[in-house]
Amino acid sequence: MSEGINRQVLLARRPVGEIRDQDFELREAPRPEVGGGQFLVRNLWLSFDPTQRGWMSDLPGYMPPVPIGGVMRALAVGQVVESDHPEFKAGDYVSGGLGWQDWILTDGMTEVGPLQRVPDGIDPKAMLSVLGITGLTAYFGMIDVGQVAGGDTVVVSGAAGATGSVAGQIAAIKGASRVIGIAGGREKCGWLTDVAGFDVAIDYRTENVLTRLADEAPNGIDVVFENVGGDILEASLANLAMRARIALCGAISTYNQVEPSPGPRNYLQLVIKRARLEGFLVLDYAPRFGEAVDALVGWVNEGRVHYAEDIQEGLENAPATLRRLFSGQNLGKQLLKIADAPIA
């Protein structure tokens, strides 16, 4: 790749079902020239998040869809290489909506909000996981929506993902007496109990989640951090404690489905257990991101929150890397490294 070329991965069409390579198109544009108060960023690490599947669709969502022919929207970390902007200087690491491209010329505002300067002393790519949207989602979802309290039994679905793994560890820090993770495969389950300190890991690929939850949460589940949907959500609903809180983060099992899948058949368990199913979006908590990042930095430094990264390489592999989320291949945060930092 020439440093004078800006490779951009465009959304070529809206996917139907599974994401395919043909849903994207690679364009080579000239590297932008700095000027007009803007600054040029070299993209280094791309973040992969389930919500990107929604951005590719034109169904109503919390944000407009990526336009056909537009650069695929993505969070990323990059490095400022040249600046005509008073607040960003060459060498700064920035994180935000940089998209699937090598270079971006910006005034600091992107379609997903302002770029953040990565504070000194922090691994820049941690801004895409434990200190970024996924960690913040775990924090506000578990604490504010789930209202986890001492002694609670907590279940996290998608527990080996970037959000779920942090959510479960926050529950333990907040005094949950039992943290149960649901994940796919022996490796993920082993990581949950051996590294992330979950009390129990249930492998949905080989175990009956419904009966395992009944066994492992005999007094019922007080908080569910829900990422998956389908049978997994139904299994949690069937095992709620009275006044349970389900923090509804997403439903990755359903995002590729062409027809809307059935909702939870047993949702009337919410009546029987006087329980609450509540959706949330981390962007609403932006005024409190500082509080959450301070807490997360502290917990990571104290060794109380562990996080895993699954790192692929090469911008051309972005579509395949996105698919890894939906096939459940990633353990921890799915990242794609697309360049080394140009400025040491």
**Residues in touch with its own copies (CB under 8 A):** 60-62, 229, 248-251, 254, 260-281, 284
Nearby residues of 53 by Cβ (< 8 Å), 6 or more positions away: 15, 19, 255, 256, 322, 326
Residue nearer to its own copies on the CB measure, 271 or 344: 271
How far is it, in rounded angstroms, from Cα 90 to Cα 81?
5
Least distance in angstroms from the C-beta of 280 to its own copies: 6
How far is it, in rounded angstroms, from Cα 65 to Cα 71?
11
Residue nearer to its own copies on the CB measure, 269 or 321: 269
Residue nearer to its own copies on the CB measure, 127 or 232: 232
Least distance in angstroms from the C-beta of 242 to its own copies: 9
In the block, tokens 């040249």 appear at 82
Least distance in angstroms from the C-beta of 153 to its own copies: 18
Residue nearer to its own copies on the CB measure, 269 or 312: 269
Least distance in angstroms from the C-beta of 111 to its own copies: 17
Q: Give the dihedral sign, CA 181/186/188/192.
A: positive
Look at residues 165, 145, 306 and name the one whose alpha carbon lies nearest to residue 224.
Answer: 145
Q: What are the structure tokens assigned to 14, written together?
A: 């809206």
Least distance in angstroms from the C-beta of 264 to its own copies: 4
Return the HEC string of 10-42.
EECCCCCCCCCHHHEEEEEEECCCCCCCCEEEE
Phi, psi of 196 (to 5 degrees): -85, -5
Residue nearer to its own copies on the CB measure, 61 or 175: 61
Residue nearer to its own copies on the CB measure, 77 or 251: 251
Least distance in angstroms from the C-beta of 274 to its own copies: 6
Return the HEC string of 227-253.
CCCHHHHHHHHCCEEEEEEEEECCCHH
